[in-house]
Structure 1
Amino acid sequence: MSFNIDEWEPKTKMGKLVKEGTITDIDEIFEKGLPIMELEIVDALVPDLEEEVMDVNLVQRMHKSGRKVNFRVIVAVGNKNGYVGLGQGKAKEVGPAIRKAVDNAKYNLIKVRRGCGDWGCVCGKEHTVPFKVQGKASSVSVSLMPAPAGVGLVVGDVGKTILNLAGIKDVWSQSFGQTQTTVNFANAIFDALKTLSAVKASEAELKKMGVKY
């Protein structure tokens, strides 16, 4: 369903500032560390998000009234230009589970720091991770390392999907643990991407690595 900003009635102060045009860039929100409480804020400021269903699983649990069966869905969203999110959703049917997962992924949207950090590449474009980072989820740990332009995404299929949605075209990787467990591998990749923005570096160092912010 396409988003129509004219039909949106914001319920939060931030939402009202977005609708009236006072806030026009989602980076303003990220830089202040403010929580996004309305999905329409993401729809308005990052309208070109694409969605990818990563995994659909049946999950069961015992309840006093009997066995409960739900679908658990993992979804990644991104605009292939520096923004990506990962989310999960559960429901009795696949459709509602996917919608919940998409909404959750939008609430978890982050900006991904990209650059040209490989010593053998001097293109200066934002095509890879600017420096080595690690991510962890349960028993799975992943390292993402800068790669020269043209290498592609040397990582498992789950990682390729998330990195592609983030706008990363080249990367080396190492992974350990039960990487065949989609939810943990996906969360480890996402954790590594979040770490990119947490690493402190001077403006001169970032500029040298091709990072534009």
Structure 2
Amino acid sequence: MGMHSDSRHTGREGVGRGGEGKDLEGWVPRTKVGVYVVNKQITTLEQVFEQGYRVREPEIVKMLLPDLKSEVVHVGVVQKQTDAGELTRFSAIVACGDEHGWFGIGRGKAAQMRLAIDKATRDAMLNIIPVKLGCGSWECRCNVQHSVPFKVVGKGGSVKIEIIPGPRGLGLVAGANITMMLRLAGIRDAWTRTFGSTSTMSSTALAVYNALRNTYSIG
């Protein structure tokens, strides 16, 4: 398959910033890490990962990444037949990132679309991971963190994606939703190749997430 240049997108919608101070008013941490963050014993998300802690409260991410942004990747309708009739629920997939090396994907279901998006946004924060940025393009070698440091591959369901380092100025050669997710992670220039049923956004989002996670697990 050739380099991916599809411009199709599904259900994209801006959610806005997740780190507004008003969202943290009245937050009482329920975990040890949350207490450390409130008491300024932990001041960066890097410290959380370096010390082997898990993020169990989205407020931790909101406080440590005040510039975090969220985007809706996909919203679908799930219908289920019950004794009382047909039950309709919304299913949302949301991506979050600070555009400087942090990225997360989350899912949420609810009877109302906004609630499903809110659940997915919180889930994305709990799934946030560090992404290693760099310049692995043989055409560039500029030492600026604008791409991935080397080729990474990720799989999700039937979907496989390859993210290949690109030179500065190339942009992102990818479909609209994949481009949006890579930008949230901080990647500005890269080629991508996709295989499988990329119209299944849950699998595509997971494939992107796993590829970005491999920037650290491999390198």
What's the TM-score once normalised by structure 1's chain length? Answer: 0.89
Of 103, 111, 118, 1:92 maps to: 111
Contact 2:91 2:107 in 1 (8 A): yes
What is the alpha-carbon root mean square deviation over aligned residues?
1.5
Contact 2:33 2:53 in 1 (8 A): no
Q: Summarize deviations over 1:29-58 as a string: whole Å, max 9, x none.
A: 112331112121111111111111111110
What's the TM-score once normalised by structure 2's chain length? Answer: 0.87
Secondary structure of residue in 2 paired with 1:193: helix
Match of 1:198 in 2: 217
Matched residues in 2 for 1:10 and 1:32: separation? 18
Match of 1:119 in 2: 138
Q: Summarize deviations over 1:104-147 as a string: whole Å, max 9, x none.
A: 00001111101010111021100001011111111110011111
Matched residues in 1 for 2:190 and 2:107: separation? 25
Aligned residue pair count: 200
Matched residues in 2 for 1:52 and 1:156: separation? 15
Asked if 1:81 corresponds to 2:108, the answer is no
- Higher mean displacement: 59-68 or 89-98: 59-68
Match of 2:76 in 1: 57
Asked if 1:48 corresponds to 2:67, the answer is yes
Matched residues in 2 for 1:25 and 1:82: separation? 13
Pairing of 1:1-213 with structure 2 (within 5 A): 2-4=20-22, 7-200=26-219
Q: CA deviation at 1:88?
A: 0.9
Secondary structure of residue in 2 paired with 1:96: helix
Contact 1:158 1:185 in 2 (8 A): no
Secondary structure of residue in 1 paired with 2:203: helix
Contact 2:105 2:125 in 1 (8 A): yes
Runs of 4+ in 1 over 2 A off after TM superposition: 1-8, 61-68
Matched residues in 2 for 1:3 and 1:177: separation? 41
Which amino acid in 2 is paired with 1:3?
G
Which amino acid in 1 is paired with 2:207?
A
Contact 2:173 2:191 in 1 (8 A): yes
Matched residues in 1 for 2:156 and 2:141: separation? 33
Matched residues in 2 for 1:127 and 1:68: separation? 45
Secondary structure of residue in 2 paired with 1:194: helix
Q: Summarize deviations over 1:67-126 as a string: whole Å, max 9, x none.
A: 322100111111111111111110011111111010000001111101010111021100
Secondary structure of residue in 1 paired with 2:172: coil
Q: CA deviation at 1:17?
A: 0.9
Which amino acid in 2 is paired with 1:161?
M
